[in-house]
Amino acid sequence: MEYEHIVHPFGPLFDKKSRVLVLGSLPSVKSREQQFFYGHPHNRYWPVLAAVFQEPVPKTIEEKKELALKHHVAMWDTIYSCDIRGSSDSSIKNVVPTDLRKILEESEISHVICNGKTSGNYYHRYQEKQIGIPAIVLPSTSPANAAWNLERLIGEWKVLKELLSERV
């Protein structure tokens, strides 16, 4: 498979009440096609988020946006552009990181969660010093992370709800 230069095809999801920023690395091929986060049908992000907040699993993009924003969760990615083969994080090169300042300036973000080690590595390398918020790196919800079943992921991701229950 050939390398393709990808520029992030859609913007972040957040509003002024967002308090936790969840960062992926870069949208998968399926997410790029859908123009929204975690679009691969086997990615467990939406079932995990729904379970953490005891809500029905959203089906449409509009329902997904509503679920995240209702619970003050912002979403974006650590990589703005790069060269990549398909959806393979291990093939990423020539990274340009996203600029997270707009989200931070226009919301109440106090915590950052990275969805997987790749996101965590790029956040630590490019954004953490500038932002000043250490990231919590959680196991990836990607179907490529087969070592983690849905139940284990939900157990780890419950920290998201705990962070949101803290007083600002």
Strand partners, 83: 5, 93
Q: What angle do CA 53, 58, 62 make, to 5 degrees?
A: 115
Contact of 123 with 78, CB cutoff 8 Å: yes
CB burial class (10 A; 0-12, 13-18, 19+) of residue 26?
A: buried
pLDDT, tens digit only, all 168 positions of the chain? 899 999 999 999 999 999 999 999 999 999 999 999 999 999 999 999 999 999 999 999 999 999 999 999 999 999 999 999 988 888 999 999 999 999 999 999 999 999 999 999 999 999 999 999 999 999 999 998 999 999 999 999 999 999 999 865
DSSP 116: S
∠ Cα 113 149 114 (to 5°): 10
What pLDDT score was predicted for residue 166? 81
pTM: 0.96
Angle between helices 45-52 and 150-157 (to 10 degrees): 50
60: left (phi > 0), else alpha (psi -120 to 50), else beta? beta
Question: Where does the chain have alpha helices with state H?
Answer: 29-34, 45-52, 61-70, 101-105, 117-122, 128-131, 150-157, 159-165
In this prediction, residue 87 carries a pLDDT of 86
